[in-house]
Structure 1
Amino acid sequence: MRKVVTTAHMPTEFTIESLGENKARINAWPFEIGFAITLAHPLQRLLCLSAIGYAATAIKIDGVSHEFDSKRGMLEDISLFIINIKNMRFKIKNEDSKREEISFSFKGPREIKGSDLANNVIEVVNPDNYIATINEDTELDFTLIIEKGIGYVASEELRERTESGFIALDAFFNPVRNSIYRIENVLHEDNPDYEKIVFEITTDGQISPVDAFKNALESMYQQMSVFNKITTTSPKTFGEEQVEEIDLGPLLKSVKELGLSVRSSNGLENANIEYIGELALMSEHDINNLKNVGKKSVDEITNAMREIGYPIGGSVIDSYKDKLIEKINEIKLTKDNK
């Protein structure tokens, strides 16, 4: 039977399973009915829009003036050679670098594969990919510009900024090859109507599935931050600057502010719990194991904490846990010294 509450249940469980080198399953639960798909659908879209990857954005080939040209002594036409280059998946080794310009030189006869492009600047994710074949009397010299980015950028949009002599390339940055989700029912507090999100994410190897999911989460928080001015509840898990701006005041108030029944208040007093922050730091296991606090009192306390936005067992305060503990200890010490 559903209870009357003023806030939705805060999911507390989260797991990651490896399904292979570049594939992972991410699970989160329990969500109230409707909340799982509300979060899962935009996250899936953001996985396809905001995951950070690398792509060749331009190429300059010695002796070649345009992409429909040909080169003497090379088996492939330039257009096919460029397609093979666009299919290559790179990774810039210096994580702080957003752009690298790298030159290559090959002398025939030989077959050129992705592994031949790896060096101390870039890593080649698909080293076995075929690129070109050149004859004995042929030399192939070309320069690639490799950039870090998100999504897809057509060559037409890159031509204006492409240096003279270079051919702009369609840049497909997104490293996510497949992302699917499903919603499953899960039992929570004897209620089988709660939901679980199950994501399965596959990347091309430029970044891990977990990092791709982090990119999507960060993008969601960043996009939603435009609404921070109209609410006091904003994401508090990313960035030290956000942590420093958090107001601990509500958590330093007495548990009496929760308006609990006498029985519940006495139970907390007997357990030496004086401040709301102490409850916010507790797990569901902790509160269920408090002495002299029965099931009805646990339910009352849990509902009260959920209503003020600090659910028992939630992760709302993880990022400033140490600071909260320090403040509570300071208050108790000051109180004891009076």
Structure 2
Amino acid sequence: MKTIKTFPFVPTNIDVQQIEPNKARISAYPFETGYGITIAHPIRRLLMSSSIGYAIVGVKINGVTHEFDSIRGITEDVSLFVINLRKLQFVIKNTEQTQIVVNYSFSGEKVLFGSDLKNDEVDVINPDVYLATINDDAKIEFSLIINKGIGYVSSEDIRSIILDTFIPVDAYFTPVKSVVYEIENVLVKDDPTFEKVIFDIETDGRISAIDAFKNAMQIMDSQMSIFKSELKITSVSNNDTEPESNENKILFQKLDVLNFSARCSNCLDKKGLKYIGELVLMEESELKSIKNLGKRSYDEIVDKVKEIGYQIGSKLPNNVKEMLYKKLNK
């Protein structure tokens, strides 16, 4: 029997299956009729467009001045060697690093494969990729700039952000190969119209399918957080008092909007911090004393706070502090 609802049913079940190292099936249910596609489609788009991956953005070869040059003693010319390098799928082992420069040197007769570029700093997901053939009297020295990023960035855009000594490379960061979703009907209390959303996700190995899904959820949450903030209607009195300024509204938003790294977010979360204003009000010594917060994470916080126009330990107007304390004590 149908009833009049005042709030849509909230899903209560989720099932996560890792089918292969790079494949996962994630399902959630039950959703109200029509909610399945409303939820599934934007999640798929985020997975395909905004999943974090790693890619080469620049190549520097010793003795080479441009990409149409040749390398003495190497079968491949520079352009073909760079094309082969572009096929590699790297992972930076230190997940806190967003960019790394890796140096390589090879000499003597050798067939160079992706596996030869593995070291303590980076891993290569597709080690069987052929790169070049080196003659017995030849030597090649080269450096790679590997970046963490999302989506696709053209070599022309990269040219302006790397050193002139490096050859810019088209960067394909997206590690997700495919996302397919299905919507099935499920029975809830004699009502067969509820929906179950099933995602089948496959990545290329630079990130696991489950981690890709988690990242997509974090991005969606941070993008939607702007709508979570309290909406206030400011009235203007007869004495023409100006409405409240927008200048300090960022202080009342959740920390998620600053997109901190996972380690940084975990430290702040364990401390019980929720709002940007809390960070701004903290003294440097207090921030540094947070358990497990290293220098890299501290610097990240300082930089993010500067980006929004504040500093750690800023002196805020009394009325702003009072409003912030009220929000924290709710």
How many Å separate the matches in 2 of 1:111 and 1:163?
29
Match of 1:127 in 2: 127
TM-superposed deviation, 1:236: 11
Runs of 4+ off more than 3 Å: 234-239, 241-246
Cα-to-partner distance string for 1:272-330 (whole Å, 9 max, x where unaligned): xxxxxxxxxxxxxxxxxxxxxxxxxxxxxxxxxxxxxxxxxxxxxxxxxxxxxxxxxxx
TM-superposed deviation, 1:28: 0.5
TM-superposed deviation, 1:52: 1.1
Identity %: 47
Cα-to-partner distance string for 1:131-172 (whole Å, 9 max, x where unaligned): 111112211110001111111111111111211210011111
TM-superposed deviation, 1:243: 6.7
How many Å separate the matches in 2 of 1:242 and 1:105?
46
Match of 2:112 in 1: 112
AA of the residue aligned to 1:25:
R
Match of 2:293 in 1: none
- 2:103 is the alignment partner of 1:65: no
- Aligned 1:313-328 pairs, distance under 5 A: none
How many Å separate the matches in 2 of 1:244 and 1:163?
39
- Structure number with larger C-alpha Rg: 1
Alpha carbons 2:255, 2:274 under 8 Å: kept: no
Alpha carbons 1:181, 1:198 under 8 Å: kept: yes
Using the size of structure 1 for normalisation, the TM-score is 0.68
AA of the residue aligned to 1:91:
V
AA of the residue aligned to 1:157:
D
TM-superposed deviation, 1:228: 2.1
Match of 2:20 in 1: 20
Call closer, same or farther: CA 1:244–1:100 in 2, change over 3 Å.
Answer: closer
Match of 2:182 in 1: 182
- Aligned 1:190-201 pairs, distance under 5 A: 190-201=190-201
- 2:16 is the alignment partner of 1:29: no
Alpha carbons 1:60, 1:143 under 8 Å: kept: yes
Number of corresponding residues: 245
How many Å separate the matches in 2 of 1:115 and 1:39?
40
TM-superposed deviation, 1:58: 0.4
- 2:83 is the alignment partner of 1:83: yes
Call closer, same or farther: CA 1:230–1:241 in 2, change over 3 Å.
Answer: farther
TM-superposed deviation, 1:77: 2.2
Q: Which secondary structure does the structure 1 equivalent of 2:3 belong to?
A: coil
Match of 1:142 in 2: 142
Give the RMSD, CA atoms, in angstroms.
2.4
How many Å separate the matches in 2 of 1:105 and 1:171?
23
How many Å separate the matches in 2 of 1:85 and 1:170?
11
How many Å separate the matches in 2 of 1:12 and 1:105?
55
TM-superposed deviation, 1:230: 4.4
Using the size of structure 2 for normalisation, the TM-score is 0.70
How many Å separate the matches in 2 of 1:206 and 1:228?
33
Alpha carbons 1:107, 1:139 under 8 Å: kept: yes
Alpha carbons 1:158, 1:168 under 8 Å: kept: yes
Q: Which secondary structure does the structure 1 equivalent of 2:136 belong to?
A: coil
TM-superposed deviation, 1:47: 0.5
Call closer, same or farther: CA 1:244–1:199 in 2, change over 3 Å.
Answer: same
How many Å separate the matches in 1 of 2:10 and 2:255?
15
TM-superposed deviation, 1:207: 1.3
- 2:224 is the alignment partner of 1:224: yes
Call closer, same or farther: CA 1:188–1:69 in 2, change over 3 Å.
Answer: same
Which is further off, 30-39 or 72-81? Answer: 72-81
- Aligned 1:274-293 pairs, distance under 5 A: none
Alpha carbons 1:36, 1:197 under 8 Å: kept: yes
Call closer, same or farther: CA 1:16–1:145 in 2, change over 3 Å.
Answer: same
AA of the residue aligned to 1:163:
L
Call closer, same or farther: CA 1:26–1:110 in 2, change over 3 Å.
Answer: same
Cα-to-partner distance string for 1:80-104 (whole Å, 9 max, x where unaligned): 2111111101111111111111110
AA of the residue aligned to 1:58:
G
Match of 1:168 in 2: 168
Match of 1:318 in 2: none
Q: Which secondary structure does the structure 2 equivalent of 1:14 belong to?
A: strand
Q: Which secondary structure does the structure 2 equivalent of 1:100 belong to?
A: strand
Call closer, same or farther: CA 1:35–1:241 in 2, change over 3 Å.
Answer: farther
How many Å separate the matches in 2 of 1:137 and 1:180?
51
How many Å separate the matches in 2 of 1:243 and 1:235?
12
Match of 1:42 in 2: 42
Runs of 5+ consecutive residues of structure 1 not aligned to the other structure: 247-338
TM-superposed deviation, 1:73: 2.1
